[in-house]
Amino acid sequence: MTTEADTSAPATPAADGAPPASAVPTAPEGGNILGDQPGAAAPPTDVSSPEATQPGTETKASDTPGVPEKYEFTPPEGFAVDPEALNGYEGLAKDAGLTQEQFAKVTEYGLKYFHDQLGKQAEAQDLRVGNWMKETLADGEIADGKTLRPEAREAAGRVMERFGGDDLRKALVETGAGNHPAIVKAFISIGKAMGVASPPDTGNPVPQNAKGNGLDDIAARMYGNGA
């Protein structure tokens, strides 16, 4: 029985042990099934292609399917967003390939998370300052359990007026330091050391005839002739 000869040419092995050209699978027409799926690895780039090395062919974040050119975000009620900080965050979101929906969910979660953490820190600070006040008012030497004793309040107020005034008082209130036992006691001690408020002693006038450089002359210029 006569059989027809196979006229197809046998696959010729490529150099260096590479598989024959006919053995390399080709993608079906209409796209790559796996490559078109979200999260699938991109098909390898043919480095021998001129387009692979041609400048300006890199894929931009905005060219990624689902990534918008500009993200839109409306903060939840009671929240404020710094536009400059949000712009920097948008760049990171584009690099990560976030869609508009993903961006909105992640951003809202982040805002609420940090708001919650800041709230907890504020509560902890309020508790800390309250404990400072209780400890200060429990000190019988300077307080009666409810408020500072009159002489202690007067001494602390003397320091306040002399060295800081309203700005110092405001800083002590905003930071809570005005309730700290060590701060309160320091103000009272300084005020007591200052004594009753009085005009500063300007000393005696320098004698006009004290022009020598001896110790007595220097003392006379500094302290007057009675030195």
How many of the other CB atoms lie within 10 Å of CB of 190?
A: 15
pLDDT computed for residue 27 by the predictor: 44
Give residue 58's region: left, alpha or beta (phi > 0; psi -120 to 50): beta
Q: Are residues 142 and 121 in the same domain?
A: no
Q: Are residues 71 and 121 in the same domain?
A: yes
Q: Are residues 93 and 114 in the same domain?
A: yes
pLDDT computed for residue 44 by the predictor: 53
pLDDT computed for residue 217 by the predictor: 56
How many of the other CB atoms lie within 10 Å of CB of 184?
A: 25
Q: Would the pTM of this model clear 0.75, i.e. be above it?
A: no
pLDDT computed for residue 118 by the predictor: 92
Choosing from 80, 101, 125, the residue where a domain stops is 125
Domain around 84: 61-125
Give the span between the Cα atoms of 44 and 219, in whole angstroms: 93
pLDDT, one tens digit per residue, over 167-177 is: 999 999 999 99
User: Residue 123's pLDDT band (boundaries 50, 70, 90)?
Assistant: very high
pLDDT computed for residue 31 by the predictor: 36
List beta partners, residue 36: none
Number of domains in the chain: 2
Residue 157: pLDDT over 60: yes
Residue 162: pLDDT over 60: yes
Query: What b/e string do you get for 102-125 counting C-beta neighbours within 10 Å, with b at 16 or more?
Result: ebeeebeeebeeeeeeeeeeeeee
CA separation, residue 75 to residues 72, 117, 152 (Å): 10, 17, 49
